[in-house]
Amino acid sequence: MNGPAYWGIAGYPISHSLTPRLFEIVGERLGLEAQSVYLEADSMDEFEMNLKNLQGDIWLSCTAPLKHSPQARLAVFGPEGVNAINQLKRTNGVWSGTSTDGMGFVAACRHIGVEPNGSILRMRGGGSAARAIAAAWGEEGGSIIPVEGRRSLIGGPWDSAIISEGEADLAIDLDEAAGGGEFTELSAKQQVSISYGEDATADDFAVIMIVAQHLEAWKYLYAPERAADLPSLSHLLERLSRFN
């Protein structure tokens, strides 16, 4: 297979993003090359304007505030209940996309020794990442204690996983400030974060998750026909650590 003309990251802020580097490392493994791009955009209007000069196929990870807008503007829709995307692919002018936040979170948890099946997750927030994580955690047999933050977790495919009390094995504040900023401490055996800044290392959970969800994007959207050739999560983290 051939790679796209471009790959990279879109959203705002994105200057600290590891995604273009991850594209390069995985692409090298698969023998694919593309021009890396950082598309800073805080609206779909700005996003589409930035795309005007980028002809050809393009693969993009999307972060806030672009996770919801592509659904209406590009006719790309996220999984049931999640209603958001974080990965986009344009092939011959046609857009497709998916959400890998939840799958990446589950893979990252397993990497640090937390098996979702039978475990309790205390989770603050109700945005797109929260819904994606709730869907994946519930599907894997885990339970969720939602904590209201800026938004409440609405009903969805994860409803049967919701419980009101218990000792949480893991906690996460999804309303944490971007770039590894302030967060609310939640009662659990351990708490993780998916927010990282420029000084993050490959040992940080947030980095483990971004790498895990990037691998899921290659597997399910960018190059599913090359899934068997993808590097492992551990290998990709080790390669990434060489840049720190």
The string of pLDDT tens digits covering residues 204-232 is: 999 999 999 999 999 999 999 999 999 99
Q: Is the dihedral of CA 184, 185, 189, 191 positive or negative?
A: positive
pLDDT beyond 70 at 243:
no
Flag whether pLDDT at 86 surpasses 80: yes
Residue 180 confidence (pLDDT): 54
Q: State residue 181's pLDDT score.
A: 60
pLDDT value of residue 178: 66
Q: List, for residues 158-200, the tens digit of each pLDDT value.
A: 999 999 999 999 999 999 876 556 778 999 999 999 888 777 8
Residue 68 confidence class, pLDDT cut points 50, 70, 90: confident
Between 59-63, 64-68, 223-227, the lowest mean confidence (pLDDT) is in 64-68
pLDDT at res. 201: 87
Sheet with strand 94-98: strands edge to edge: 35-40, 6-11, 58-62, 87-91, 94-98
Identify whether the C-beta of residue 13 lies closer than 8 Å to the C-beta of residue 40.
yes
Average of per-residue pLDDT values in the chain: 91
137-158: pLDDT as tens digits: 999 999 999 999 888 999 999 9
What is the residue whose two structure tokens read 């969805």? 156
- The token pair at 128 is 């797109």
Give the integer Cα–Cα distance in Å for 138 and 218. Answer: 23
Q: Which residues contact 31 (CB under 8 A, 6 or more apart)?
A: none
Q: Is the peptide bond before 116 cis (omega within 30 degrees of 0)?
A: no
Does pTM surpass 0.85? yes
Tens-place pLDDT, residues 93-138? 999 999 999 999 999 999 999 999 999 999 999 998 999 999 999 9
Beta bridge partners of 192: 172
* pLDDT recorded at residue 195: 86
Closest C-alpha among 98, 99, 108 to residue 131: 99
Q: What is the pLDDT of residue 154?
A: 93
Phi-psi domain of 115 (left: phi exceeds 0; alpha: psi -120 through 50; beta: other):
beta
Q: Which neighbouring-strand residues pair with 123? A: 146, 172
Position 15 pLDDT exceeds 90: no
pLDDT for the residue 231: 96
